[in-house]
């Protein structure tokens, strides 16, 4: 059977590929070609931006509650097609079935959550220094927005960018990752089925240096939101700079986890292993380096080793109860292999794992490294794979200093039963998020934002919604 040929979605229509250039989408578990999507051009991106620009005034003119109702219709469409979406995400992304299904249903929940803000976001009336005057602060749409997506949570991130944009009166152009575009095509099909006005939501497939560059550099774009690597974020900021376009960036992470002597070790092991093997370690906010206090270090390493041994790995399409699937590409597999090899060369010890699995697909063993030092690359650079380096520490101050010694600042975590220790850690850790006695996974009503090279701006909750708004202040005098 020949691979499915997908289409882009521009101005309310699925459009034919105007060139003979295609991108093959590969199943990372089997290395089979699943589909082909158009290798979009800068002209394709401009057509989508023009369509979004034409649709935006009419979309903004609708009452916010009507815009929210469209999101609810899309959420219902997602729930109807959940089995198909789950299977698609498993096939193109290598996710376990449970995680893929969670992503699909969470996306529907997120659209409904953001729809609820239609009646709740608001402006202000500020007291004036003058008599007979009010200062009115209006919150208004930015205009045309664009969203550039990664492959690790490809379906949810459509909603994370589109839902707050649309409910506040903006229109949007989405560029999915070239590695996982099939789910975005289904999202566009759902948008088309519910009858969302043409041009409000658009999907252009292609590569970042071409399509992504245009989505960031086009002067008609009022805001570009990207989730991806630090290098991709820098390129986006540079492209947006000429037009002083607003950017919102969620970039890399090297999240530290701190385990104190008084921690619930069973809970800590479960949470840290979950954070490390979820999506095969390809999650920017999950634990990437571990610091364990000296009093429980040996016992904790023993428990971690056994927990890693119990992790079930395989083709997620064939088994419903797996903990972990493949890495996303052969290049990703080779990168993880090289990072572990470099760490071993510098003196690290492999407690368990450290090798690829089989000769088909991009599988790698859950890997625990000890005898590491703070200056090693494996403790500094994002690995993005199922590899966890662990160090011992003596005092909380030392652990906080080690945790903060990073160019990243997305998430962090600590495990302790002492409230005083918790509060000291919360005061000292320099990260956008800290998780206490739980796995690293954010809530839709929180605010997901990084410090330092982990990003600019943020997403989720009221603060994430306000990323898609700009202020208009009116000084109103009356007789």
pLDDT one-digit tens code per residue, 377-426: 999 998 989 999 999 999 999 999 999 999 998 899 999 999 999 999 99
| 364 found inside a domain | yes
Residue 19 pLDDT more than 90?
A: no
| 403 found inside a domain | yes
Residue from 110, 226, 222, 224 nearest 163 by CA: 110
| 458 found inside a domain | yes
Helix (H) or strand (E) holding 139: strand 133-141
Question: In sequence order, what are the residues at sequence separation of 6 or more whose Cβ sits closer than 8 angstroms to the Cβ of residue 9?
Answer: 15, 185, 188, 191, 192, 201, 202, 203
CATH of the domain at 206: 3.40.605.10
As beta bridge partners, residue 368 has: 352, 388
CATH of the domain at 350: 3.40.309.10
| 444 found inside a domain | no
pTM above 0.85, yes or no: yes
Q: What is the mean pLDDT of the chain?
A: 93
| 443 found inside a domain | no
Alpha helices in 228-357 (DSSP H): 230-241, 265-277, 297-309, 330-345
Q: Do 357 and 407 fall within a single domain?
A: yes
**Residue range 289-314, pLDDT digits in tens:** 999 999 999 999 999 999 999 999 99
Q: Do 224 and 321 fall within a single domain?
A: no
Where residue 346 falls among pLDDT bands split at 50, 70, 90?
very high
Over pLDDT 90: what percentage of the chain? 82
Q: Do 132 and 223 fall within a single domain?
A: yes
**Residue range 201-247, pLDDT digits in tens:** 999 999 999 999 999 999 999 999 999 888 898 999 999 999 999 99
Q: Do 133 and 266 fall within a single domain?
A: no
Q: Do 191 and 260 fall within a single domain?
A: no
Q: Do 97 and 156 fall within a single domain?
A: yes
Residue 64's domain comprises 4-251+454-477
Q: Is 250 a catalytic residue?
A: yes
Q: Do 94 and 221 fall within a single domain?
A: yes
| 376 found inside a domain | yes
Q: Do 235 and 271 fall within a single domain?
A: no
pLDDT (average), residues 330-350:
95
Q: Do 105 and 209 fall within a single domain?
A: yes
| 70 found inside a domain | yes
Provide the number of structural domains found in the chain. 2
Residue 326 pLDDT more than 80?
A: yes
The torsion angles phi and psi of 57, rounded to 5 degrees, stand at -60, -45
**Residue range 138-149, pLDDT digits in tens:** 999 999 999 999
Residue 1 pLDDT more than 70?
A: no
Region of poorest pLDDT, from 205-214, 353-362, 433-442: 433-442
Residue 282 pLDDT more than 80?
A: yes
Asked whether the beta carbons of 409 and 452 are under 8 A apart, the reply is yes
Residue 194 pLDDT more than 70?
A: yes
Q: Active-site residue among 53, 103, 112, 250?
A: 250
Task: Give the whole-angstrom CA distance, residue 60 versus residue 166.
Answer: 9
Asked whether the beta carbons of 81 and 186 are under 8 A apart, the reply is yes
Q: Do 334 and 198 fall within a single domain?
A: no
| 402 found inside a domain | yes
Over pLDDT 70: what percentage of the chain? 100
Q: Do 210 and 266 fall within a single domain?
A: no
Q: Do 244 and 299 fall within a single domain?
A: no
Task: Give the whole-angstrom CA distance, residue 97 versus residue 13.
Answer: 31
Where residue 457 falls among pLDDT bands split at 50, 70, 90?
confident
């Amino acid at each position: 059977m020949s691979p499915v040929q997908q289409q882009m979605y521009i101005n309310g229509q699925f459009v034919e590929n105007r060139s003979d250039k295609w991108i093959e989408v590969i199943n990372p578990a089997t290395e089979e070609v699943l589909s082909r999507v158009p290798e979009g051009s800068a002209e394709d991106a401009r057509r989508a931006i023009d369509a979004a620009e034409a649709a935006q005034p009419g979309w903004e003119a609708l009452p916010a509650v009507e815009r929210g109702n469209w999101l609810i219709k899309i959420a219902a469409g997602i729930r109807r097609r959940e089995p198909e979406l789950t299977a698609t995400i498993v096939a193109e992304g290598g996710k376990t079935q449970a995680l893929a299904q969670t992503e699909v249903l969470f996306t529907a929940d997120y659209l409904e959550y953001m729809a609820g803000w239609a009646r709740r976001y608001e402006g202000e009336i500020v007291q004036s220094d003058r008599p007979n005057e009010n200062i009115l602060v209006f919150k208004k749409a930015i205009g045309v927005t664009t969203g550039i997506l990664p492959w690790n949570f490809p379906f949810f991130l459509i909603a994370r960018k589109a839902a707050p944009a649309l409910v506040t009166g903006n229109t949007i152009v989405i560029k999915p990752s070239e590695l996982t575009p099939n789910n975005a095509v289904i999202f566009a099909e759902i948008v088309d089925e519910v009858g969302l006005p043409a041009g409000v939501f658009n999907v252009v497939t292609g590569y970042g240096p071409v399509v992504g560059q245009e989505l960031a550099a086009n002067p008609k774009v009022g805001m570009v939101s990207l989730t991806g690597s630090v290098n991709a974020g820098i390129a986006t900021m540079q492209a947006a700079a000429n037009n002083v376009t607003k950017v919102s960036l969620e970039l890399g992470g090297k999240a530290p986890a701190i385990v104190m002597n008084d921690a619930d070790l069973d809970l800590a092991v479960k949470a840290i292993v979950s954070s490390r093997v979820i999506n095969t370690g390809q999650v920017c906010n999950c634990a990437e380096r571990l610091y364990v206090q000296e009093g429980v270090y040996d016992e904790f390493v023993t428990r971690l080793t056994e927990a890693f041994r119990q992790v079930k790995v395989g083709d997620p399409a064939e088994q419903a109860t797996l903990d972990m699937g493949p890495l996303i590409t052969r290049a990703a597999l080779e990168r993880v292999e090289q990072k572990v090899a470099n760490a071993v060369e510098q003196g690290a010890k492999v407690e368990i794992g450290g090798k690829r699995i089989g000769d088909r697909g991009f599988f790698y063993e859950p890997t625990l490294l000890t005898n590491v030092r703070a200056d090693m690359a494996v403790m500094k650079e994002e690995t993005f794979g199922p590899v966890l380096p662990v160090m011992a520490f003596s005092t909380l101050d030392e652990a906080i200093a080690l945790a903060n010694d990073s160019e990243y600042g997305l998430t962090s975590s600590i495990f302790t039963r002492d409230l005083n220790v918790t509060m000291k850690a919360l005061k000292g850790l320099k990260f956008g998020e800290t998780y206490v006695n739980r796995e690293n996974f954010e809530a839709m009503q929180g605010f997901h934002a990084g410090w330092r090279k982990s990003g600019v701006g943020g997403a989720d909750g009221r603060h994430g919604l306000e990323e898609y708004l700009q202020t208009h202040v009116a000084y109103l005098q009356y007789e």
